[in-house]
Amino acid sequence: MGARRDLKRARQHTGLADRAAVEIVRDAEGTVREVRAAPLAPPLASGSLADLPFRHAAETPDAVLLRRRERDAWRPVGAALFAAEVAAVAKGLIAAGLEPGGRVLLMSRTRYEWTVLDFAVWAAGGQSVPVYPTSSAEQVEWIVRDSGARFAVTETAANAATVTAGTAGHAHPPRLWQLDAGALADLTILGRDLPDDELAKRRAALTPDTVATICYTSGTTGRPKGCVLTHANLHAEAANTVELLHPVLQAVTGRPASTLLFLPLAHILGRTLQLACLLARIETGHFPSVKPDELRPMLKEFRPTFLVGVPYLFEKIHDTGRATAEKLGRAASFDRAERIAVRFGEAHLRGFSGTGKGPGLGLYAAWALYDLLVYRRIRRELGGRMRYAVSGGSPLDRDLNLFFHAAGIVVYEGYGLTETSAAATIVPPLGPRPGTVGLPVPGVSVRIADDGEVLIRGGIVFGAYWNNPAATDAVLHDGWFSTGDLGALDDDGYLTITGRKKDILVTSGGKNVAPAVLEDRLRSRSPVGQCVVVGDNRPFVAALITLDREAVAHWLSVRKLPPDTPLSGLVRDERLRAEVQRAVDYANQAVSRAESIRAFVLVEGEFTEENGLLTPSLKVKRHAVTAAYAEQIEALYRR
């Protein structure tokens, strides 16, 4: 029973169930318009996050904070060693000329050295500017120019070449180091003669209101904007999230928490996860890829107790399970297991919350059978010890959440933006509610505006866009941040995101359609890869759909078809189109007839970062896709 048994056990721990208490504000009609959560952690009163490694080293020098993979083994990194490495690199940055308040570009995949550099920049009094390693020279040029970064550390020679090419026309290109060429060692040597008191002075000059990072948005609708986040912002996010989740999860599992961090550290979710783990001394390993085929073996090796991921990961784990079953001739059994999982998960949560009866004997018996046949394989794919996961970035399909719940893994959804230092809401650990993104993080208030827009206030909210007062004034009003997302609060204060304000489609018949609901459900079903729902000023809703490469390879293998069958032929294959139609039918179950997808086109190729159709955080650039496939969209409406 795993995590479900843990949920029951948690109720026996005094005080844990009340940690997510909120205040609810209703309007005159009784509709919930605002929900407020009191902070669980005190605000950062002095100093900065730069002090964190040194405090751990002083208090618990031998405590294992991180695990670094070397020669196919995970080597423990104690608090004292981590602080020493941070100090050595910070001295090197100071010796190189980094002034207090100076900015350092960090362009690397997720790895241990990124963490060292992040804290070293802070300890030296600087501000980090994360950049995705897949960024183009043009994107790097803009971020360097806008932020004024005078130093850059990249991972690879290719990354270094991108920075060099992008800043070739700058009067003062940033001084450059490369991790794969020994950047940390070079910086350590550079700073070895700097006295310790110089580093102590830099740290002592930092305050909670000091800028910690300029974190650029993904740029789904235009040029990225730099979000100015202070040490207090990041601390409020990390500390309150830890206080909400960690005591519950550790108390009910009875084992130390550990996680494998694979989200990009240039993304605010990965960044604040790292901070939260270091605050709580949760053992953390780093892995540089979010690709499921590369990640799954590492999960089995590291065996984390919890994960923080994006819906794409959970979708692919589910799809891999079904593909394996189909190869064994057991696809029908997997499909039955999935239906049982949804029924069982719904019944279990009703029983747990006291809103209905739990699973009956027959449903329990069916669950037990498929636990042997299917669910335990899912747990094995995730390392065998995992009982909890947090999903963010975009909504997770509700049925998929229930599937994992039945498999013994409770997935908590959260919601947030770069401007809110990551999560603004999260499903509390003793109040799972699939289909919602939870309650406000402690210390945060959420309000629904008259037009349905989600507004957020609290210590996690950023103070400004860098060099962009007009954009700042457009989203910050009386302490409230206008997210641009549409949502609703239920009677208990749980938030559901219904769409993006700018993405709402209005058909020629006047029907408002939120495409995200359809797109999220479509992507959760094989063989769909990515998709974009269209229909603005059109007579009906339609969809552009790409095929998932792994799903297509599996589909061809099962049917004994040549693996090199051209995609141009497959997009017209009626058998494959029938598979996609089933995914479309599943998506349409969530909406009315007027909002449903009436037609779709399978397009060749993929939406990727490389072709400019996906952001580094795997969000679709809607306007870029509709421009690239304008002819296919027009053809949909000429039929």
Report the CATH number of the 504-636 domain.
3.30.300.30
One DSSP character per residue, 336-404 reads HHHHHHHHHHHHHHHHHHTSS----HHHHHHHHHHIIIIIHHHHHHTTS---EEEE-SSPPPHHHHHHH
- The rounded distance, in Å, linking the Cα atoms of 263 and 19 is 27
Pull the structure tokens for residue 26: 């209703």
442-473 residues labelled b (16+ CB within 10 A) or e (exposed): bbbbbbbeeeeebbbbbbbbbebbbeeeeebe
**Which secondary structure element, helix H or strand E, spans residue 545, and what is its range?**
strand 541-547
Pull the structure tokens for residue 6: 């843990």
Pull the structure tokens for residue 20: 């997510």
**What is residue 170's DSSP assignment?**
S
The ranges of the chain annotated as CATH 3.30.300.30 are 504-636
Flag whether pLDDT at 2 surpasses 80: no
Give residue 524's pLDDT. Answer: 85
Q: How confident is the model at residue 252 (pLDDT cuts 50, 70, 90)?
A: low
Pull the structure tokens for residue 285: 């390993």
Neighbours of 535 (CB within 10 A): 26
Q: Which of 46, 47, 44, 45 is nearest to 202 (CA)?
A: 47
Q: How confident is the model at residue 11 (pLDDT cuts 50, 70, 90)?
A: low
Instruction: Give the three-class secondary structure for 39.
Output: coil
Q: How confident is the model at residue 113 (pLDDT cuts 50, 70, 90)?
A: very high
Instruction: Check: CB of residue 544 under 8 Å from CB of residue 601.
Output: yes
Give residue 521's pLDDT. Answer: 87
Instruction: Check: CB of residue 158 under 8 Å from CB of residue 233.
Output: no
Report the CATH number of the 58-231 domain.
3.40.50.12780
Instruction: Give the three-class secondary structure for 117.
Output: helix
Give residue 623's pLDDT. Answer: 83
- The rounded distance, in Å, linking the Cα atoms of 549 and 565 is 12
- The rounded distance, in Å, linking the Cα atoms of 547 and 552 is 7
Q: Which of 47-51, 290-294, 444-448, 472-476 has the lowest mean pLDDT?
A: 290-294
On the question of a cis peptide bond just before residue 527, with omega within 30 degrees of 0, the verdict is yes
What is the rounded average pLDDT for all residues in the chain? 89
> Do you know the residue count of the chain?
639
206-244 residues labelled b (16+ CB within 10 A) or e (exposed): bebebbbbbbbbbebeeebbbbbbbbbbbbbbbbbbbbb
Q: How confident is the model at residue 8 (pLDDT cuts 50, 70, 90)?
A: low
Provide the CATH topology of domain 3-40+237-257+305-499.
Luciferase; domain 3 (2.30.38)
Give residue 320's pLDDT. Answer: 83
Q: Which of 582, 506, 492, 513 is nearest to 545 (CA)?
A: 582
Residue type at 432?
P
Q: How confident is the model at residue 155 (pLDDT cuts 50, 70, 90)?
A: very high
- The rounded distance, in Å, linking the Cα atoms of 588 and 602 is 17
pLDDT tens-digit readout, 455-466: 999 999 999 999
Flag whether pLDDT at 241 surpasses 80: yes
Flag whether pLDDT at 17 surpasses 80: no
- The rounded distance, in Å, linking the Cα atoms of 147 and 158 is 22
The ranges of the chain annotated as CATH 3.40.50.12780 are 58-231
- The rounded distance, in Å, linking the Cα atoms of 26 and 21 is 16
Pull the structure tokens for residue 444: 């945060």
Q: How confident is the model at residue 58 (pLDDT cuts 50, 70, 90)?
A: very high
Tell me phi and psi for residue 143, to 5 degrees.
-65, -40
Instruction: Give the three-class secondary structure for 219.
Output: coil
Give residue 13's pLDDT. Answer: 53
pLDDT tens-digit readout, 357-393: 889 999 999 999 999 999 998 888 888 888 888 888 7
Residue that wins the pLDDT comparison between 325 and 194: 194
Give residue 146's pLDDT. Answer: 96
pLDDT tens-digit readout, 418-445: 999 999 999 988 788 888 999 999 999 9
Flag whether pLDDT at 410 surpasses 60: yes
204-to-119, 197, 630 alpha-carbon distances in Å: 14, 10, 56
Flag whether pLDDT at 610 surpasses 60: yes
Instruction: Characterize the bridge pairing of strands 541-547 and 528-534.
Output: antiparallel
The ranges of the chain annotated as CATH 2.30.38.10 are 3-40+237-257+305-499
Give residue 321's pLDDT. Answer: 85
Give residue 217's pLDDT. Answer: 84
How large is the C-alpha radius of gyration of the chain? 25
pLDDT tens-digit readout, 504-525: 787 767 677 888 888 888 988 8
- The rounded distance, in Å, linking the Cα atoms of 440 and 424 is 6
Report, as an integer, the average pLDDT of 549-577.
Answer: 83
Give residue 131's pLDDT. Answer: 94
